[in-house]
Amino acid sequence: MRSQAFYERMLNGRAQVGSEAGYVLFAVYGLELLLLKGRVLPVRFGWKLADEQALEALAERFSTQGIAFERREFTHAALGAREVALNLHDPDGHRCSFYCLIFEI
């Protein structure tokens, strides 16, 4: 599968189940990421990180590994928070976000 090597590099770990089974399974950040063989409509998914320091460390690791991403910031007035996100696309076109919420005092 095109995205298996991408996620192994991005998540810094090997898949628990490889593409020889017809699918790929990762257990990351307390969730399972399942990649199915064949054509699947692109989706958006994300992981909420604890704080901006964790996000910055991840951005540095992605940069070191040559993983392209876009950093975005949004204001959620109703929540009284600012969202900082790293957005990227895998080889199959799925949008993946790593983000944290920073609550204004």
Amino acid at 76: H
Q: Tokens at residue 48, please?
A: 């909420």
pTM, two decimals, is 0.75
Given this model, what pLDDT does residue 56 score?
96
Q: Where are the domains of the chain?
A: 2-103
Tens digits of pLDDT across the chain (105 residues): 678 888 898 888 888 888 888 888 888 777 788 888 777 677 778 888 999 999 999 999 999 999 999 999 989 887 789 999 999 998 888 889 999 999 875
Given this model, what pLDDT does residue 105 score?
58
DSSP state of 37: S
| φ and ψ at residue 15, rounded to 5 degrees | -70, 145
- CATH assignment of 2-103? 3.10.180.10
